[in-house]
Chains A and B, each alone.
Chain A
Amino acid sequence: MPMSPSPNLPPDKQREMLRQMLTIRRFEERASADYHAGMIYGVVHCYIGEEAVAVGVCTALDPGDRIISTHRGHGHCIAKGANLNRMMAELYGRQTGYCKGKGGSMHIADFGIGMLGANGIVAGGIAIITGAGLAAHMEGEGGVAVSFFGDGASNAGPFHECLNIAATWKLPMLYVCENNQYAAQTPASATHALSDVAARAAGYGIPGIVVDGNDIVAVYQAAIRAVDRARSGGGPTLIECKTYRWRAHTERRGQADPREKEEVEAWKQKDPIKLLERQLRDQGDLDDAGLQAIERDVMAALEAAVAFAEASPFPLPEQATDDVFAA
């Protein structure tokens, strides 16, 4: 399957996108393994297979732009530039983690880089990031806010309330639906009257765009148009990225996964990382040595993150009562 043309994406930028997608994948492979090894607690939701959405959209953003994520949040953190050491330390429940061990996988945030948090409640982040969009609008400095959410969240009230407000007030927002076809175990076909979430944009008078969420260039091109529109006062855009998660809803042992093996395998053939790798090779912008160098960098950063996490102290028990209120 040929990818979208990319005149505005120089090879360096494409290689960086590849590196980020690989970072997300390797981070999560490690997180899954360490979870099953008992080093990571609670629950982990893997984003593997959907990496092109986070990286494609975040590549279209400026550092000062803000995003919010979901329970499946590692990819958005990494794509927005989060520190792998502090991410892994948080998963390990350590004092040096982004949330000092109070959040875990479902609640990593880094407000300093405009990452307003993963969020354990489906649709829970949409209103929060719309408030950040209102803040950007009132600041008047061209900032943009991006809400990442799934197909499941598109059926919840806040999605509709916020699209209406953002459209009415022309807020500089991107609503990016990662339609991975399943809300936990339930197929979207059982819960959506329309096959395209993007079609709902018409009800709010804003553009609704469907893109192949595994084609990172297509995602980027849709995002950059929506960002331009938002920065210039044109208001929000709803972008639906059709994609798929390779792993079960969570990494819990015995997690039910009703999906057909053939369906999962068919999506794995559309691996967003392989697609970009092939494109770079076809363009003559990547060879084996170049790919190996990227892989080496990614693994070195990941190993350093794990080492940092392992070497970090656990919080003191009495720190459980810190930060209930701010000073």
Chain B
Amino acid sequence: MRELTYNQAAVEAVAEEMRRDPKIFYMSTDPLPPLLEEFGDQRIRATPIAEAALTGMAIGAAGSGFRPIVDWRQVTFCFVAMDQIINQAAKIHYMFGGQVTFPILYRAGVGGGTQIAAQHSQSPYSMFMNVAGLKMFLASTPHDIKGLLKTAIRDNNPVISFESNRLTTRKGPVSEEDYTIPLGLADVKRSGDDVTVVALAWLVHEALAAAEVLAAEGISVEVVDPRTLVPLDTETIRNSVQKTGRLVIADEAGPTAGFSAEIAAIATEDAATFARLKAPVKRVCALQVPIPYSPVLENHVFPDRNRIIDGIRAVLQGQRSVAAA
């Protein structure tokens, strides 16, 4: 099968959907040259650096029959548009009694590892997960980002595509067939029996590398990639944990009230899953600090395959202690 980079797959998804539906248009402070060349400057609109305006304009255009895509480029740049995201886009369908739909795709780069310091190395998706009315996903492979983006563009709700900055040039197989991937469907990236690692984006690849290392020691690791954050595929995650009895969660974001906390909660608050847990859940997250610039500091802050291996070993050694009573 042919290989594309993560970025190429994303552009291909947008282009295919724009060819299919003339109501789709794209706003970005820096349009992508191949899209601009194919679709022209009316559908691929170069905008001022005014994210609050663009984010809100997408809502009005969507409510008027269009299907806008707004490319924030980095999630960092959408914080000036929080009123439009949280107060408007997330609530407007519900608050107005569902009378019209607001099909909008917002795209945002997330994550670190690129030595561009705190303001440009953020993974704030749990902030958005906390707001009712937004769907969102974070793909780990070129195949996944293409299929998820195509679905998101066809969805009748505001959807945020978080896109990993570490993965933009990573290649992977992408079918030439027309395909989509539903939102809310996790993918078991590797099957295993001893421990479940739920990981996102770049950490899916680190978890797979960790699984490879541990396989040599006879430890069988299952890697589950939720892909979609909202709606979350709790069933696949719980089924995996019920099978292995052990759970490690790997996330480039910090742990506090994070995606990792949500995964821990859905495993432990479900009686059937909790009953099968053989050891305490382990979170392998970034340190709870702004992301520093110097590689020495940055590498210390982020988890990687070694920390995932440490986490797996910890849950394999851990056990349910009889209550100290």
Residues of chain A touching chain B, judged by Cβ–Cβ distance below 8 Å, are 66, 68, 97-103, 107, 109-112, 116-117, 119-121, 124, 126-136, 138-139, 145, 157-158, 161-162, 164-165, 168, 322-327
* In the complex, chain A residues whose CB is within 8 Å of the CB of B80: 157
The answer to whether B96 and A66 have CB atoms under 8 Å apart is: no
The answer to whether B98 and A326 have CB atoms under 8 Å apart is: yes
Given B42, B47, B83, B157, which contacts A165 in the complex, CB threshold below 8 Å? B47
The answer to whether A103 and B87 have CB atoms under 8 Å apart is: no
Q: Does chain A have a CB within 8 A of B94?
A: yes
Name the interface residues of B46-101: CB closer than 8 Å to any CB of A: 47-48, 50, 52-66, 68, 80, 83-84, 87-88, 92-101
* In the complex, chain A residues whose CB is within 8 Å of the CB of B66: 135, 138
Say whether, besides A135-B65, A161-B52, A165-B47, A127 and B57 are in contact (CB < 8 Å).
yes
The answer to whether B57 and A131 have CB atoms under 8 Å apart is: yes
Nearest A residue (CB) for B90: A324
* In the complex, chain B residues whose CB is within 8 Å of the CB of A112: 99
Given A129, A131, A157, A162, which contacts B68 in the complex, CB threshold below 8 Å? A131
The answer to whether A135 and B61 have CB atoms under 8 Å apart is: yes
Q: A98-B97, A111-B63 are in contact. List 5 more A-B contacts (CB 8 A).
A: A110-B99, A127-B54, A168-B48, A324-B133, A327-B156
**A192 to B88 Cα, complex, angstroms:** 27
Nearest B residue (CB) for A95: B97
* In the complex, chain B residues whose CB is within 8 Å of the CB of A68: 60
**A101 to B94 Cα, complex, angstroms:** 10
B158 to chain A, nearest CB (A): 9
Q: Does chain A have a CB within 8 A of B25?
A: yes
Nearest A residue (CB) for B230: A325
Contact digits for B111-133, partner A, Cβ 8 Å, 1 yes 0 no: 00000000000000000000011
Name the interface residues of B138-160: CB closer than 8 Å to any CB of A: 156-157
A192 to chain B, nearest CB (A): 21
The answer to whether A102 and B57 have CB atoms under 8 Å apart is: no
Q: Does chain A have a CB within 8 A of B238?
A: no
A132 to chain B, nearest CB (A): 4
The answer to whether A103 and B48 have CB atoms under 8 Å apart is: no
The answer to whether A128 and B63 have CB atoms under 8 Å apart is: yes
Name the interface residues of B259-316: CB closer than 8 Å to any CB of A: none
Given B65, B96, B100, which contacts A107 in the complex, CB threshold below 8 Å? B96
Say whether, besides A130-B57, A158-B52, A97 and B97 are in contact (CB < 8 Å).
yes
The answer to whether A131 and B56 have CB atoms under 8 Å apart is: yes
**A135 to B56 Cα, complex, angstroms:** 13
Nearest B residue (CB) for A135: B64
**A165 to B47 Cα, complex, angstroms:** 8
* In the complex, chain A residues whose CB is within 8 Å of the CB of B61: 131-132, 134-135, 138
Q: Does chain A have a CB within 8 A of B135?
A: yes
Nearest B residue (CB) for A322: B98
The answer to whether A130 and B60 have CB atoms under 8 Å apart is: yes
The answer to whether B25 and A138 have CB atoms under 8 Å apart is: yes
28 sample A-B contacts, Cβ–Cβ < 8 Å, listed by A number:
A101-B97, A110-B99, A111-B100, A112-B99, A117-B92, A119-B88, A120-B87, A124-B88, A127-B54, A127-B56, A128-B88, A130-B56, A130-B60, A131-B58, A131-B63, A131-B68, A134-B60, A134-B61, A138-B25, A138-B66, A139-B65, A158-B53, A161-B53, A325-B93, A325-B135, A325-B157, A326-B102, A326-B156
The answer to whether A127 and B55 have CB atoms under 8 Å apart is: yes
A65 to chain B, nearest CB (A): 11
**A162 to B64 Cα, complex, angstroms:** 17
* In the complex, chain B residues whose CB is within 8 Å of the CB of A164: 48, 50
The answer to whether A165 and B60 have CB atoms under 8 Å apart is: no
The answer to whether A98 and B135 have CB atoms under 8 Å apart is: no
* In the complex, chain B residues whose CB is within 8 Å of the CB of A162: 50, 53, 57
The answer to whether B94 and A116 have CB atoms under 8 Å apart is: no
Question: Which one of A68, A101, A102 has the highest number of Cβ atoms from chain B below 10 Å of its Cβ?
Answer: A102
The answer to whether A109 and B56 have CB atoms under 8 Å apart is: no
* In the complex, chain A residues whose CB is within 8 Å of the CB of B100: 111
Say whether, besides A97-B97, A131-B57, A157 and B52 are in contact (CB < 8 Å).
yes
* In the complex, chain A residues whose CB is within 8 Å of the CB of B25: 138
* In the complex, chain A residues whose CB is within 8 Å of the CB of B54: 127
The answer to whether B93 and A132 have CB atoms under 8 Å apart is: no
Given A97, A107, A116, which contacts B60 in the complex, CB threshold below 8 Å? A116
* In the complex, chain A residues whose CB is within 8 Å of the CB of B84: 124, 127-128, 158
* In the complex, chain B residues whose CB is within 8 Å of the CB of A327: 156
The answer to whether A131 and B97 have CB atoms under 8 Å apart is: no
The answer to whether A128 and B56 have CB atoms under 8 Å apart is: yes
The answer to whether B156 and A161 have CB atoms under 8 Å apart is: no
* In the complex, chain B residues whose CB is within 8 Å of the CB of A325: 93, 133, 135, 157
The answer to whether A127 and B52 have CB atoms under 8 Å apart is: yes
* In the complex, chain A residues whose CB is within 8 Å of the CB of B57: 127-128, 130-131, 134, 162, 165
* In the complex, chain B residues whose CB is within 8 Å of the CB of A97: 97
The answer to whether B47 and A102 have CB atoms under 8 Å apart is: no
The answer to whether A138 and B94 have CB atoms under 8 Å apart is: no
